[in-house]
């Protein structure tokens, strides 16, 4: 490898990048726009679910149950109806996404320990189902425990037959005790945006040379394929790392997401990930025949990255064949790295396997791109 030839390619790509100031501005501003869109629009935990209530008891106990749902913040009582059929009709019409049906004589049933209330959830939205079901069960259990303790206090522990509750559980949530969705989302969004930027900046680099008929100028030079690949990647490495710095600073100082790890370790591991993503983009560029085809491949990879890498959905429940595909995408490994360093504050001793995979991935992708680049016109 010739340093002189490599420097010439780097200079050419840098000049081309700086001359296209519109694309450069988009690449610097797009991550911020996408970060705000994802952070504020994509919420895995749904709260303030509009709810219809059919309170056919209208007593102190039914009011207490409704108040507990409202105080939780997960449910907003949007409308009051007469019976279960009207609750279902409100859900069908889209006016509410959940419903509560309290039967007659609810207070008397509570005193007998046989009270039942029906909670209906719109199953067409999976996030509403998950959040609404979990919240409804937790609130009902808390209310039941409160009623049980009140009964024990009234009767006396000895008369009730026990000195404490049969089962006591204690829950402690690590790294995110307030269950702030931003702490979960922002590091993953940063990782996803880095891969998107890395792919998009290099996916059209080689194929553009063909469409602009500038490939002939490269063909008459003594440049080697691997030198061309590295030369096209390095200017974009700097651009992508600047984007990474912007995303991280906005996540910390605007969204208030705590950074618990070593900043320098995170920077070096991000560099490894960026190189792997750029190498994948260059490989895509050597495979594609046109820029439109390169864009289509990039969009497919972006969609797979969102769905299969643990960015939004956990990988563990996925079928084995889908897991194989997920482990072919570098974002799968960097998601664990970014959440490990950013959120948990762990070190390289816990993450070295993912780092090794990303490094090998980058080398293999660059070698494959150089092998597929034919130094001739098709």
**Arithmetic mean of pLDDT, 167-195:** 73
pLDDT band of 126, cuts 50, 70, 90? low
**Arithmetic mean of pLDDT, 127-143:** 78
What are 127's strand-pairing partners?
Answer: none
Neighbouring C-beta atoms of residue 347, cutoff 10 Å = 13
**Which region among 164-168, 290-294, 357-361, 364-368 has the lowest average model confidence (pLDDT)?**
164-168
- Res. 319: pLDDT tops 50: yes
Percent of the chain with pLDDT over 70: 86
**Arithmetic mean of pLDDT, 104-115:** 79
For the ranges 179-188, 211-220, 234-243, 346-355, the maximum mean pLDDT occurs at: 346-355
> What is the structure's pLDDT at 179?
67
> What is the structure's pLDDT at 356?
93
* More confident: 236 or 375: 236
DSSP symbols for 139-201:
HHHHHHHHHHHHHHHHH-HHHHT-SS-S-------SS-TT--HHHHHHHHHHHHHHHHHHHHH
Q: What is the pLDDT of residues 245-279, one digit of tens each?
A: 888 898 888 888 889 889 999 999 988 988 888 88
pLDDT band of 80, cuts 50, 70, 90? very high
- Res. 79: pLDDT tops 60: yes
pLDDT band of 286, cuts 50, 70, 90? confident
User: How confident is the prediction for the chain on average, in pLDDT?
Assistant: 80
* More confident: 188 or 178: 188
Q: Are 296 and 246 contacting, i.e. CB atoms less than 8 angstroms apart?
A: no
- Total number of residues shown for the chain: 378
With DSSP H G I counted as helix, E B as strand and the rest as coil, what are the percentages for the chain, rounded to 5?
65, 5, 25
> What is the structure's pLDDT at 264?
92
> What is the structure's pLDDT at 170?
55
**Which region among 142-151, 189-198, 347-356 has the lowest average model confidence (pLDDT)?**
142-151
**Arithmetic mean of pLDDT, 144-150:** 73
Cα radius of gyration (the chain) = 28
**Arithmetic mean of pLDDT, 340-367:** 88
> What is the structure's pLDDT at 53?
92
> What is the structure's pLDDT at 378?
47
The structural domains of the chain, ordered by start, are: 3-42+179-372 (no CATH), 49-160 (3.40.1710.10)
> What is the structure's pLDDT at 377?
43
**Arithmetic mean of pLDDT, 63-92:** 89
Residue 204's H or E segment, with its range, is none
Q: What is the pLDDT of residues 7-53, one digit of tens each?
A: 887 787 788 777 777 777 777 787 788 788 777 766 666 778 899 99
> What is the structure's pLDDT at 156?
58
Please give the distance of CA 144 from its chain centroid, rounded to a whole number.
Answer: 35
Is the whole-model pTM more than 0.75? no
Neighbouring C-beta atoms of residue 210, cutoff 10 Å = 17
Q: Which residues of 50-65 are buried (b: 16+ CB within 10 A; e: fewer)?
A: bbbbbbebeeebbeeb
């Amino acid at each position: 490898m010739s340093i002189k030839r490599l420097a010439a390619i780097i200079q050419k790509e840098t000049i081309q990048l700086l001359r296209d100031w519109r694309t450069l501005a988009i690449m610097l501003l797009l991550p911020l726009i996408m970060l705000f869109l994802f952070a504020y629009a994509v919420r895995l935990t749904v709260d303030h679910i509009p709810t219809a209530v059919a309170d056919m008891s209208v007593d102190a106990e039914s009011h207490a149950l409704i108040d507990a749902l409202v105080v939780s913040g997960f449910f907003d009582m949007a409308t009051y109806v007469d019976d279960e059929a009207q609750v279902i009709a409100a859900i069908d019409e889209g006016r509410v996404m959940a419903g509560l049906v309290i039967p007659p004589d609810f207070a008397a049933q509570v005193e007998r320990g046989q009270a039942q209330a029906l909670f209906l959830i719109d199953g067409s939205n999976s996030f509403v189902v998950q959040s609404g079901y979990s919240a409804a069960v937790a609130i009902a259990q808390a209310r039941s425990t409160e009623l049980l303790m009140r009964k024990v206090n009234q009767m006396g522990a000895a008369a009730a037959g026990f000195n404490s509750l049969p089962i006591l559980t204690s829950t402690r949530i690590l790294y995110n005790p307030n269950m702030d969705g931003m702490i979960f989302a922002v590091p993953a969004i940063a990782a996803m945006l880095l891969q998107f930027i890395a792919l998009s900046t290099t996916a059209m680099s080689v194929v553009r040379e063909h469409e602009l008929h500038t490939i002939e100028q490269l063909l008459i030079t003594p440049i080697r394929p691997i030198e061309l690949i590295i030369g096209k990647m390095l200017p974009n490495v700097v651009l992508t790392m600047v984007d990474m710095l912007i995303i991280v600073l906005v996540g910390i100082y605007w969204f208030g997401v705590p950074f618990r790890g070593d900043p320098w370790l995170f920077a070096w591991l991000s560099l490894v990930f960026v190189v792997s993503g750029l190498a994948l983009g260059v490989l895509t560029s050597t495979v594609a025949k046109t820029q439109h085809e390169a864009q289509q491949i990039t969009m497919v990879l972006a969609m797979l990255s969102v769905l299969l890498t643990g960015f939004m959905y956990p990988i563990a429940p996925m079928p084995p064949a889908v897991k194989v595909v997920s482990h072919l995408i570098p974002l799968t490994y960097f998601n664990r790295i970014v959440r490990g360093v950013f959120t948990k504050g762990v070190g390289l001793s816990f993450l070295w396997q993912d780092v090794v995979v990303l490094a090998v991935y980058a080398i293999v992708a660059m070698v494959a791109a150089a092998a597929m680049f034919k130094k001739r016109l098709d």
